[in-house]
Amino acid sequence: PSKKGNNIITKVEKEIKRAIQLSGFKNGAINIEVRVSGIGEIFIMEIGPRSGGNFVPQVINYATRFDMIFATLDLFENKNINLHNTLNNCAAYYVLHTDQDGILKSISLKNEIKIHIKEFHQYIQPGEKVYSFQGANAAIGVLLLLFSSPKEMDYYIENMNKFVEIQ
């Protein structure tokens, strides 16, 4: 769920529809990155004919039960794709990272966060070099998470250092 108000979401949806229409895009997965300024201005940062990185299709599936990957395959087979928005679960991804260059010793996950982890993708193994996080190329791994409410999700994301220890 978004923290933005309905008026901002409506403006973003309008701009996305306009951009898609102007681009001539007809069918398939599309990834659009949008930023909203402090005064509510909408900026489209990126449009790409792909389903998104950082496991975005999987997070969307956990949040809505819409399987973007299967829908894309169905599109290639000229099958009908039914879009439904029946769920609005609180799903998120969290990039595991460090603020220091060094060698990864371990990743420790507290039991309290483990119950929320749907998938854990570890890129760097103990004994391998890690780099201070400046971008996605320095990610140690990714957690795909599911929570019962926006408040719970915000709490865990904002306090992840209490639940995940990277040495």
Higher-scoring residue by pLDDT: 51, 125: 125
pTM for this model (two decimals): 0.83
Higher-scoring residue by pLDDT: 80, 112: 112
Q: What is the pLDDT of residues 98-136, one digit of tens each?
A: 999 999 999 999 999 999 999 999 999 999 999 999 988
Q: What is the mean pLDDT of the chain?
A: 91
The residue to which tokens 């993708």 are assigned: 121
Mean pLDDT of 49-60: 87
pLDDT beyond 70 at 1:
no
Q: How confident is the model at residue 96 (pLDDT cuts 50, 70, 90)?
A: very high
Strands of the chain, DSSP E:
31-36, 42-48, 90-96, 102-103, 107-109, 117-122, 129-130, 141-147, 164-166
Question: Can you give the pLDDT at residue 51?
Answer: 84
The residue to which tokens 């996605």 are assigned: 136
Mean pLDDT of 135-141: 92
Distance CA 141, CA 124 (A): 7
Q: How confident is the model at residue 39 (pLDDT cuts 50, 70, 90)?
A: very high
